[in-house]
Amino acid sequence: MTWLVSRLLAGLVAMLLGGVIGYVVGGPVHAPVLTVLLGGTLTVGALAIVDTLRGVRLIDWLRGAQDTDAPRDAGFWGEIGYRVERSIRARERSTVQEKARLEQFLEAIEASPNGVLMLDVSGQIDWCNSVAASHFGLDPRRDRLQRITNLVRAPAFVAYLQMGNYREPVVFPSPNGLGTLSVLVRDYGEGMKLVLSQDITERERADGMRRDFVANVSHEIRTPLTVLSGFIETMSALPLTEVESRRVLVLMGQQAQRMQTLVSDLLTLAQLEGSPRPAADRWVSVSKLLLQVEGDARTLSQGRHTLTLVSDDAAQIAGAETELLSALTNLANNAVRYTPEGGRIDISWRVLTDGSGEFSVKDTGPGIEREHIPRLTERFYRVDGSRSRDTGGTGLGLSIVKHVAQRHGGELDVQSEPGKGSTFRLIFPAARLRRAAASPRPQGDASDAAVRGATADTR
Ligand code: ADP
């Protein structure tokens, strides 16, 4: 309020000064009252002109961008200028803060794995993040203020938007043709809409796989179960001779065994999928594994094949022994099961020049057509279904092998040509291998020396 006092004082002083001057000047003309009034009026008028000029300066500043300081006048206009400038600066600061917050907010929406698209009251695109742009095949700048239904013409989506009932999401093929989208709309503000999109291609695929898996398992179990219940019915309904009963019991045993193998493979798979990766500090002797694999293969072959085992290095693999044994045995047993009598099976282990280790099973069996090879590791995928079932296969063996390989950082490679046999190779990375001699040997490692460089003909 100091400006008020000083302003009143200045007016008063100006008036007095004008009066005094008027009185002094008006004495000689003998009209002191008139000259006092005239003098006072003139000085107040001069003060008003100065005031107006200051006001004009402030208005000019206000009309501009206010990017310089307000005119620093004393008194009334100075006070107004100072206060207006302070309020403008405070507003500018808060606008900058609001802008920064808005940008942060948009960046957060941009970082969302889901698509976010805002529609105005007339269904025009107001803003969208890049995920939504990619889901709907939009250009966030070019397509701004375009009607969404002019750009996204998927009938299910258009009908959903028009229907106005947004309780459930709508699912439709993505406009970019690469998958499936799930879209949910939420009303907000006054007649505006928030469109949330999610790419559910992977989820749909996983759901499909789960459905197929359940259907496959049910089918695989139902077949032996039907046979078993048939036999049970036969046995209870018909008086069988002892020979016949024994035959039926053998067949029933085979079906029960088939179910047991299937359940055991399913459990192995579930365990592989649900447990953490095998520790990298548990060392398993490759020689020991090879001997077990060879023993199993020989038992299965029963002398019907020429079977050789070659190992050039007494290495150890870091991982889970049971898993590795299961993978290696699966490959060797497949070779025995699919190779006709008289065929040859070569099992080998070698360390490659880059330090990785290769376990290989080569057979002279029927071979596999090229188009089947990428699908061999799918669950229940069989090239020759009847041969697989006749030899006790579940269609899960190579799936298990692939999982074990991946869990040990390795990979499965299949080379095959119809009529020329197959080679299945399991390659383990150098990081998971070490020479057996470099550490105290685990139990049973006496076998290392026996296998190294040995060729066993089991025929
Ligand atoms: P299965 O229990 O049916 O053998 P796998 O997953 O082990 O299941 O193998 C998948 C399919 O790959 C088999 O059904 C068979 O058709 C084919 N296969 C696997 N190994 C061989 C092989 N050594 N020679 C020819 N075909 C093979």
- Strand pairing class (421-428; 433-435): unpaired
Q: Give pLDDT, residue 459.
A: 36
DSSP string across 186-219: EEETTTEEEEEEEE-HHHHHHHHHHHHHHHHHHH
Classify residue 349 by burial, with Cβ atoms within 10 Å: 0-12, 13-18, 19+: buried
What are the Cα distances from residue 25, in Å, to 31, 32, 33, 217, 237? 9, 8, 11, 122, 149
Secondary structure string (H, E, C) spanning 148-186: HHHHCCCHHHHHHHHHCCCCCCEEEECCCCCCEEEEEEE
Low-confidence ranges of the chain (pLDDT < 50): 438-459
The two tokens of residue 318 are: 């870091």
For position 31, what pLDDT does the model report? Answer: 72
Provide the pLDDT for residue 442: 41
The preferred substitution site among 372, 386, 388 for testing ligand 1, maximizing ligand atoms within 8 Å of CB, is 388
CA 411 to chain centre: 23
> Which of these CATH numbers, 3.30.565.10, 1.10.357.10, 3.30.70.60, 3.90.420.10, describes 276-455?
3.30.565.10
d(CA 157, CA 124) in angstroms, rounded, equals 15
Query: How close is the Cα of 448 to the center of ligand 1, in Å?
Result: 30
Give tens-digit pLDDT for 310-357. 997 789 999 999 999 999 999 999 999 999 999 999 999 999 999 999
User: Among 314, 319, 282, 285, which Cα is nearest to 406's?
Assistant: 319
- Measured from the Cα of 372, ligand 1's closest atom is 12
Instruction: Fill in the amino acid letter for 27.
Output: G
Q: Is 378 in the pocket of ligand 1 (CB under 6 A)?
A: no
Q: Whose CA is nearest to atom 19 of ligand 1?
A: 334
Q: pLDDT tens, 385-421?
A: 888 888 888 999 999 999 999 999 999 999 999 999 9
Verify whether ligand 1 is closer than 6 Å to residue 39 (CB atom). no
Is the CB of 138 within 6 Å of ligand 1? no
If you ran DSSP here, which 8-state letter would residue 374 be given? G
Ligand 1 within 6 A of CB of 421:
no
CA distance 391 to 387: 6
Domain boundaries, the chain: 2-94, 112-199, 204-273, 276-455
Q: Which two tokens stand for residue 391?
A: 């030899």
Looking at residue 39, what is its pLDDT?
81
Rg of the chain over all Cα atoms, to the nearest angstrom = 45
C-beta of residue 197 within 8 angstroms of C-beta of residue 132: yes
Residues 271 and 323: beta-carbon distance below 8 Å: no
CB 345 within 8 A of CB 339: yes
Q: Is 204 in the pocket of ligand 1 (CB under 6 A)?
A: no
Ligand 1 proximity of 395 Cβ (cutoff 6 Å) = yes
- Tell me, what amino acid is at 49? I
Strands 411-417 and 125-128: unpaired
**Mutation test of ligand 1: which of 361, 364, 371, 382 has the most ligand atoms closer than 8 Å to its C-beta?**
382
CA distance 282 to 284: 7
Confidence (pLDDT) at 388: 86
384: nearest Cα among 422, 345, 344: 422
Ligand 1 pocket, 368 CB below 6 A? yes
CB 144 within 8 A of CB 127: yes
Residue 416 in contact with residue 423, Cβ under 8 Å? Answer: yes
Place of tokens 């105005």: 120
Where do we find the tokens 């685990």? 442
Please name the CATH architecture into which domain 204-273 falls: Orthogonal Bundle (1.10)
CATH superfamily of 112-199: PAS domain (3.30.450.20)
Report CA dihedral (253, 259, 264, 268) to the nearest 10 degrees: 160
